[in-house]
Each structure stands twice: as structure tokens, then as C-alpha cells.
Amino acid sequence: QVQLQESGPGLVKPSQTLSLTCTVSGGSINSGDYYWTWIRQPPGKGLEWIGYIYYSGSTYSTPSLRSRVTISVDTSKNQFSLTLTSVTAADTAVYYCARTPARVRGVIAFDYWGQGTLVTVSS
């Protein structure tokens, strides 16, 4: 059974950098079968796709955040990470990591999710 677990600071000051890591267990991140994804949800609001990374290092991210987002992968630790620079209060959200099957034609689905971690941007 695949499990994902987010970790990182729960409080970040405005203008600083948010950094989160997702640890994958029960399966290898070094697989061509999946994308590894970050999604966030501001309190009381809907889901927002941030981006995903392939084991090879190829990344895709939402245009609205692209200039501030970096997603990286460490296959030796079975982890992938998110950094978001120059944060503001609008970046306060629950951040989820998730797995996405890569070879299902015409479909993008997140089949396993971490429990989520709340990151608050405040001084």
C-alpha cells in the first residue's frame, strides 16, 4: 500500500520561502509509471494544482505560480519536494502531495494522497 507523507514548517514569514517534502513509502518514486504531484487548498476553498514531477526530473507547474515554484525529486530518498518563493498570506493553505498514474491515456487522476499539511504565512 503506497503512502505519502508531507513534512515541513507550518509557519512561514511573508516574503520568505516555503519548503515541503513528500516521503513516499510502499512504492518506488523511481518509476516511469507515475507523476508526483503537489496540490494545495486554502482554508475553506477549493483544490489548486501546483505542479508535478516525473522521476526523470521533468516538471510541469501551473502558470500562475510557475515563476515562484520549484519541484524536485530525490530518488535515493524516495522523496520529492516543493519550494515556493516570496510567499504572501494568499499562499496560506493545506498542501497535499499525491501520486498520478502517468500512462492512462486521456486521464489525469490522483490516486494516493498524503494527509496534507497546513502552512500558514504570517509574521
* Site of interaction with another protein (CB under 8 A): 37, 46-49, 52, 60, 62-63, 96, 104, 106-111, 113-116
Which one, 37 or 92, has the nearer CB to another protein?
37
The answer to whether the CB of 14 falls within 8 A of the CB of 122 is yes
Contacts of 104 (CB under 8 A, 6+ apart): none
Which one, 15 or 120, has the nearer CB to another protein?
120
Q: How far is the CB of 4 from another protein (least distance, A)?
A: 9
Contacts of 5 (CB under 8 A, 6+ apart): 22, 23, 25, 114, 115
Q: How far is the CB of 29 from another protein (least distance, A)?
A: 19
The answer to whether the CB of 82 falls within 8 A of the CB of 93 is no
Q: How far is the CB of 71 from another protein (least distance, A)?
A: 13
